[in-house]
Every structure is written in structure tokens, then in C-alpha cells.
Structure 1
Amino acid sequence: MPVHAIAKEAALNAAKDGDAEKLRTWAAQLEAGGVLYFPQTPVPIPIADLGVLLGQKQKHSSLHKNIAYKPNRDELTGVDAKSSPAEAVEQLHAIMRRYSKSVENFLGEFLAPYQRRWVLDYASYRPIEEQGRDLSTRKRNDLLHTDAFPTRPTKGWRILRFFHNIHPTRTRDWVTGDAFPKVVGNFTPGKLALPRPDGALAKAGKGLASATGLGGLVPQWKRTPYDEFMMQLHNAMKEDSEFQGVCTKEYFQFAPGSSWMVYTETVPHAVLAGQYALEQTFLVDPAAMVEPELAPVRVLEKLAGARLA
């Protein structure tokens, strides 16, 4: 995947001046599977906030990979409130709230072509060293995968993630893989069946689950055919050792104090090493895209010959 390095000053000036042509070009590069990289982050974090974040010591746990902030509920999770002073938890809560808002404000201008046609999803803080973590295959971050949320189906909306390496001295090491259409071709039709529209029985079952409030109990009842396929693809990529061994890989080291963003449902990616990273996720309406036909839901619908979300 191409990495497009953008100077902080260029990004801020283009957003401030409303340079529509430049902003559309960057959005198109992002949508096509590029990684937009800011060697110096355009979203600076107050020094006092950095001090608090770098002081967090999460245990290696399979339960919580990170500390999560949920803007729609103004809720912080992943912190052991029982062993942490209430004041410290509230301080961390406020820091994550500020970070989430600052990223949204920046992207509201930098991705002006989208006109904020997105849903602000979770922000997270990842204080754990990524290299050598003991996790089950499907939860491992160091295996190439495209993103899908098991319990939060996107219904075709794109998963945009903005990352920030706040480690004072170490890079955050990533690897990316082939473009989305090629990855899909590697797994279909031999390993995965192409998605198909829900049949009458499946639609009736989902309708009943929604009407009775039982839809949240079984993740599959909440998923569209698109979401179900993307979940299967995520798992199949991680579990296929042959694919992991022979697929194309490009390696990147994101510098301390840098930021980058990428559509992670499109770009196969893995994190090999690094500690102390912040991230904000957006779910973006594919109809808001500069190049809407590049959205995975459109790619899959073209292959399937039917609407999937």
C-alpha cells in the first residue's frame, strides 16, 4: 500500500484555506487504500496529558487490549476502577474525551469533502507492548487482516482509523498487504463463498429478533450479508498460515510523535511492535466518498451482483 507523507503545515494550511482540490486528492488517495502519514502529528497533545498517558501500566490481558472511550455515551472502559483512584480515572476520562474531540475537529476540516457524514466511533489508548503478546489467533494484531467488528456491524460504512504514536523514542512498526480486491480474490471462491443477499427466512428471523429486542444477543442477527462476509474474511486471513507466509508485505516504521490514517477494512495491516499509541475510529458513509465505487461494500456488491447492505 502506498504511504503518502504529508507535512503538518501543508495539512493544516490546506484545511484552513479550504483548498478543495488538494483535500479531494488526499481523500481519494485514502479511499484507494493509501496510508496518509503525518511525520509530525497535526493533532498535538498537551504535555500534561502525555505525562498521564505514558504513566499508564496496563497488564497483559486477553480481556482488555486497550483503554476505550465511547463518545456516544461519554464512557471510559478498560480501566480497573477498583484499583485506581476515582480522581485518576476521571483524569484519564477527560484526556480521552479531549483527544477524541481534537481528532474529530481536525478531520472535519482535513476531510472536508465528506461533510462530516460519519459516525464517531470508539477512541482507544494502547499502552501495551505489541511485540510478543500472547493472544488467540483471531485476536492477534501481528497477523495481516482487514477490520470487522464482531458486535458492531458497519452495514457497509467504511472504517477510518486515525493513529498517533506517542512513545517518546520508539517507532510503531506496521506491515500492510495487497489491495482489497486482490485479497478477496485470494479467498473466493475457494476458501470463502462470495456474500449473497439475505433470503426470506433470514430476513424474517432478523426482523423478529429486532422486533423482540433479541438481536443484540446473537451477533449474526445484527449483521448484513456484507458484515458477515467481512467478519469471515477477517478470521480467514488470520487463520490461514499459508496466506500469512506468502502474501505481499510492505513494512513501515511510524516515528515517535507522528500520526497516520487508513481505511482498515480496506487495507490489510498488522502491528509488529510498538507501545503507547492513541487511535480514533470513524464509520464513514460510503456515499460521501470522493471515489464511492472503491468502497469494499461496492466492490463486493459488484462481484456478487446484488445489494449486500
Structure 2
Amino acid sequence: MTDVISLSIASWDQPCSAAEQEYALRALEWGSVLLFPQLRFSIQDGESRLLSPTIAGEGKNVSLDPSSGTSRGSDADEAELRLLRSMMQRFATSSKTLLHNLLPRYEAGLQQARTSFRPVEIAGRSTSWRKDDTRLHVDSFPSSPTQGKRILRVFTNVNPHGQSRTWRLGESFEGAARRYLPSLPSPIWGTSHVLNLLGVTKSRRSPYDHFMLQLHDRMKADLAYQPEVAQSVHDFHSGSTWIVFSDQVSHAAMTGQYALEQTFHLPIDYMLDSSQAPLRILERLLGREMT
């Protein structure tokens, strides 16, 4: 099962020793969650009014493109939107600084993707089984192929009422892949080109993306697997932060409200041990290249 490893970093710009950097790097790449119990993201004056599920309108998240400053998912008035974008941009910058100090090996390759604010309670949320994050899964997104790049995510719990964010963590990526790969269909020739041409995907869906999406869906759809696979429950308390390769770690978010999340993509050439990347594991198990 996935380990959760605590580190004593307490500020977003805290320098890290070479030993801390190597320890964090190896733990992440081998499928652990890095937890920073004392790393709080402070809500500034005026921002507390953003801690309401209504800020997300009819959806569950608000997203921000940190490179352009544009946001989606909120129908708040312009004054609140400016405040919301400012808070999320500050988190995007803080996350990047944290990774700069903790994981300098990745810096040249890291690609900062969207930032999200998650103000809606997870438990009891009505959604389709495919979008149900309370089911164990590894991350893969239908419209956003990665062609093998890693999905590295930074989460922080900003719940003002002290509520934890509860996750289940399951078996290793290779364990899940070995379980489901024999029954997963291969991609149909030409499909990736058509999907990209029609705008269904933002870029070409590689064989890797195909199998990762199939694995994501099969894990979520298997109602016998969900309760029976070896797993553990972890509470990430308010005021804590955690980092995870979410394409590798089997996870399910069970309860919690008010979190910020920053996604990064990383080409596997920048990893210390690229043999641990899902791309390389799938290639080894299937006996062929996947990009």
C-alpha cells in the first residue's frame, strides 16, 4: 500500500538540504505521498468570504490558468473574481517555490498546469461513476493527454472549520496495472487522430493515454475491487499540505471541503529513476513502446 511520509517543512520558501531533496525525490518516485503537516497556506484579509461552496456556482471546482490569470468555474461578481484569482495565483506561486526548493532536479522540466480551488464538500456529492473521486483510481483525463508525462500535484487543506480531507490510498500502480491490463482493449487505429481533429482531446491521445484512461475507468467501475483491495485511510488535517504523483498513486478523496490544488506535468527524462514512471511500467508489462 501507499506510504504517507511526513516532512517538517513549515514555510513555502523554506530551503531544503541535499539530503532532504534526495529523500523526497526517491519517496515520490517510488509512489509515496509527501505530507507537510505544518505547511499552512494562509487565507489573507478579505479572502475568507471566498470560503463558500457558492463561489463555484453549479460546479465543484474553480480553475485558474496561472500563466494568463484567466479563471473558469465561478459566476461570482468581478470584485470577488479578482480576489479569487489573486488567492489562487498566490497558491500557484507558492507551490512552484516549494518544488523549486524541495525538488530542484525537476525544475528545468516542470510544466505548471492549472490551479484549482475546491470549495464543495466531497461526501454526498452527486456525480457519475466516472467522475466519482470517492472511488480508488489513478489520474488520467479524457481531454488532456500527457503522452507519458507525469502528473505531479500539490494539495493544501484551507478548511476554516478544522475539517480534515480524508483520502483512501490503495495498491501500487504496478499491482493495479497487472490486475486490469489483460482485460483492457487496445486502441483502435486512427481514433486518436479523429479525437484530436474534432477537438475532443487537446492533443494526440497516445497508446499510453489510452491504457491509462482505460485503467482509470476500470478501477472506478469495479465495485468489488473498491472495498476489497488492500488500502489505508488518511486524514489530511486543515493547515496541512501534501504532494503526490497522482498518475501513479491509487487514491480516492472521501470527505473534505475547501482545498487548493496545483498540477504540474513532468517529462520522465527529468526523473531520478524513470523506471518507476507509469509509462515505463506499462511498456514493460505490455512489451512495447507506448508513446
Residue 105 of structure 1: how far off its partner (Å): 1.5
Structure 2: gaps spanning 5 or more residues: none
Report the counterpart of residue 288 of structure 2 in structure 1: 306
Report the counterpart of residue 78 of structure 1 in structure 2: 73
Report the counterpart of residue 261 of structure 1 in structure 2: 243
- For residue 34 of structure 2, the aligned residue among 30, 36, 42 is 36
Runs (4+) of structure 1 exceeding 6 A deviation are: none
Trace 1:95-244 onto structure 2 (pairs within 5 A): 95-168=87-160, 169-189=162-182, 191-193=183-185, 202=190, 206=193, 215-219=197-201, 222-244=204-226
Is contact 1:118–1:282 with CA below 8 Å preserved after alignment?
A: yes
Is contact 1:52–1:92 with CA below 8 Å preserved after alignment?
A: no
- For residue 20 of structure 1, the aligned residue among 14, 18, 40 is 18
Letter of the structure 2 residue corresponding to residue 8 of structure 1: I
Residue 188 of structure 1: how far off its partner (Å): 2.2
Report the counterpart of residue 48 of structure 2 in structure 1: 51
Count of matched residue pairs: 289
**Aligned-partner SS, 2:190:** helix
Is contact 1:14–1:22 with CA below 8 Å preserved after alignment?
A: no
Report the counterpart of residue 61 of structure 2 in structure 1: 66
**Aligned-partner SS, 1:7:** coil
Q: Note if 1:246 corresponds to 2:238.
A: no
TM-score (norm 2): 0.91
With over 3 angstroms needed to count, the CA separation of the structure-2 counterparts of 1:11 and 1:278, relative to structure 1, is: closer
With over 3 angstroms needed to count, the CA separation of the structure-2 counterparts of 1:227 and 1:9, relative to structure 1, is: same
1:33-65 C-alpha deviation (Å, 9 max, x unpaired): 100000011x6334326514324524684xx22
Is contact 1:24–1:290 with CA below 8 Å preserved after alignment?
A: no
Provide the identity percentage.
32
Which protein has the bigger helix share? 1
Is contact 2:56–2:119 with CA below 8 Å preserved after alignment?
A: no
Residue 143 of structure 1: how far off its partner (Å): 0.5
Is contact 1:33–1:179 with CA below 8 Å preserved after alignment?
A: yes
Residue 95 of structure 1: how far off its partner (Å): 1.6
Structure 1: gaps spanning 5 or more residues: none
Letter of the structure 2 residue corresponding to residue 219 of structure 1: T
**Aligned-partner SS, 1:69:** strand
With over 3 angstroms needed to count, the CA separation of the structure-2 counterparts of 1:255 and 1:65, relative to structure 1, is: same
RMSD: 2.3
